[in-house]
């Protein structure tokens, strides 16, 4: 059976939640493979709104196994709150429906404190983090001083892990003018939260490989977008993990052979939250109109998103680095009513035309977009469920996007409702 990886192909906020929810009905397992609770998914199901930031989108679907993989950094206190919120909305969550990798690193309160202190005291350019401790938690992971889920089950190990981490953190805090960590309070809070988290702990790599051998369909869910990837994003204005599709294997304990189809989620225009380069950004009435029509505010932070025309250069680049098989084009309806639309097809850099975003930050800041102008449409595309429902100009726009990014459209989304989706290619087809 085919297994599908879903990744954002821009700077996040592409509408992954709806697409994952749409696909999860046909999947047996939904596995989150990177990031933390800094990324948000908004699901609209039968008029009911669910806001998720840590749990996989499949958790709201009965009869599915949701998995948080080892590539995720887990805030256990946020996990408990999010579970409680969903239960209050009628969602059943138990160890039979949710598993957490035993080797997933924990986000501790000290990570959030460090994250916010650094951002507040940055003497250079701010990164624009959410301040939730994601970056410092990943730093501790690669620095081999994380407290991991499995450590909660053994008190002696837990204490040793905390002590190792505090040698590093207390030194950092002194340099930032922060008080030393209250070691005993931290250990006590971890002991307490352990009771809530450990029932969900499991050898996720083993479970997933057994599911695959049994012919179950696995949907791998990423957070954020490929342009925020720690290696291939607009560094340093990126997240602290790998976001591209290859991380689905590493972040769950499965081999790359487990991936059969990579679905890149692509918004019909471009948005970005926080700092960093954005060649096609608009600072005019068109940009404001896109933001208002698209309700462009962050699910987690509430921050206003920067808006711009569709950037085919960036999406073509991320389709290559993630090995995208097909894209899901979302929010086409936001473009309804524009007399003309623009697509960024290339850049000018110091008088030279280029067809990719350069790696060097100073060059990224200097590129200017080359636009191709296309006619817009006055008819509504909202709620369209077949090609026949779309205006001819909208179809031309979609076809031109396919040509420019060198990747076909597999799904087309025309509203936040899950059924307002046009299926072109079934990602789960064998």
Nearest Cα neighbor of 190 from 80, 116, 68, 101 is 80
Dist CA 110 CA 265 (whole Å) = 34
**Would residue 220 be called left, alpha or beta, if left means φ above 0 and alpha means ψ between -120 and 50 degrees?**
beta
Spacing of C-alpha 222 from chain mean position = 5
Neighbours of 210 (CB within 10 A): 11
37 given a catalytic annotation:
no
User: 310 and 344 in contact (C-beta within 8 Å)?
Assistant: yes
Query: How many residues in the chain?
Result: 430
User: 113 and 178 in contact (C-beta within 8 Å)?
Assistant: yes
Checking DSSP bridges between strand 368-375 and strand 340-349, what pairing results, if any?
A: antiparallel
Six token digits for residue 80: 């408990």
Three-class SS state of 164: helix
CA 408, 4, 50, 297 torsion-angle sign: negative
Query: Tokens 């960036």 appear where?
Result: 314
Dist CA 55 CA 68 (whole Å) = 7
- Give me the helices (H) in 198-254, please: 204-213, 247-250
Of the candidates 37, 41, 78, 111, the residue annotated as catalytic is 41
Of the candidates 13, 21, 75, 420, the residue annotated as catalytic is 13
Q: Is the peptide bond before 236 cis (omega within 30 degrees of 0)?
A: yes
Neighbours of 361 (CB within 10 A): 15
Six token digits for residue 354: 């280029």
Three-class SS state of 372: strand
User: 172 and 115 in contact (C-beta within 8 Å)?
Assistant: no
286 given a catalytic annotation:
no
Dist CA 19 CA 416 (whole Å) = 9
Six token digits for residue 256: 């790359």
Instruction: Give the DSSP letter of residue 198.
Output: G
What amino acid positions are annotated as catalytic residues? 13, 41
């Amino acid at each position: 059976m085919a297994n599908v990886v879903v990744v954002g192909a821009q700077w996040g906020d592409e509408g992954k939640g709806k697409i994952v929810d749409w696909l999860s009905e046909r999947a047996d397992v939904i596995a989150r493979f990177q990031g933390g609770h800094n990324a948000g998914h908004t699901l609209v199901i039968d008029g009911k709104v669910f806001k998720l930031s840590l749990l996989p989108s499949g958790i709201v679907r009965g009869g599915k196994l949701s998995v948080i993989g080892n590539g995720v950094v887990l805030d256990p206190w946020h996990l408990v709150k999010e579970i409680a919120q969903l239960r209050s909305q009628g969602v059943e969550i138990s160890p039979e429906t949710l598993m957490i990798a035993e080797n997933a690193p924990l986000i501790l309160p000290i990570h959030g404190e460090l994250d916010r202190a650094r951002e507040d005291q940055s003497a250079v350019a701010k990164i624009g983090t959410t301040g939730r401790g994601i970056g410092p938690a990943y730093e501790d992971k690669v620095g081999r001083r994380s407290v991991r889920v499995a450590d909660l089950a053994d008190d002696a190990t837990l204490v040793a892990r905390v002590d190792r981490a505090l040698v590093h953190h207390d030194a950092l805090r002194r340099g930032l003018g922060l008080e030393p960590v209250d070691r005993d309070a931290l250990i006590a809070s971890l002991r307490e939260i352990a009771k809530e988290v450990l029932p969900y702990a499991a050898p996720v790599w083993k479970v997933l490989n057994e599911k695959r051998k049994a012919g179950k369909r696995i949907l791998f869910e990423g957070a954020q977008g490929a342009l925020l990837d720690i290696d291939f994003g607009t560094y340093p204005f990126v997240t602290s993990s790998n976001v591209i599709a290859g991380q689905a294997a590493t972040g769950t304990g499965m081999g790359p052979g487990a991936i059969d189809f990579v679905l890149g989620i692509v918004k019909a225009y471009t948005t970005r939250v926080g700092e960093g380069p954005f060649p096609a950004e608009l600072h005019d009435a068109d940009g404001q109109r896109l933001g208002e029509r698209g309700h462009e505010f962050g699910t987690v932070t509430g921050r206003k998103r920067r808006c711009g025309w569709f950037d085919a250069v960036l999406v073509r680049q991320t389709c290559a680095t993630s090995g995208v098989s097909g894209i899901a084009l979302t929010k086409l309806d936001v473009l309804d009513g524009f007399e003309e639309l623009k697509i960024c097809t290339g850049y000018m850099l110091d008088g030279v035309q280029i067809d990719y975003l350069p790696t060097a930050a100073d060059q990224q800041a200097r590129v200017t977009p080359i636009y191709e102008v296309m006619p817009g449409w006055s008819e509504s595309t909202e709620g369209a469920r077949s090609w026949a429902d779309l205006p001819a100009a909208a179809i031309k726009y979609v076809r031109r996007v396919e040509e420019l990014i060198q990747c076909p459209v597999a799904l087309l989304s025309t509203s936040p409702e899950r059924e307002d989706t046009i299926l072109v290619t079934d990602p789960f087809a064998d």
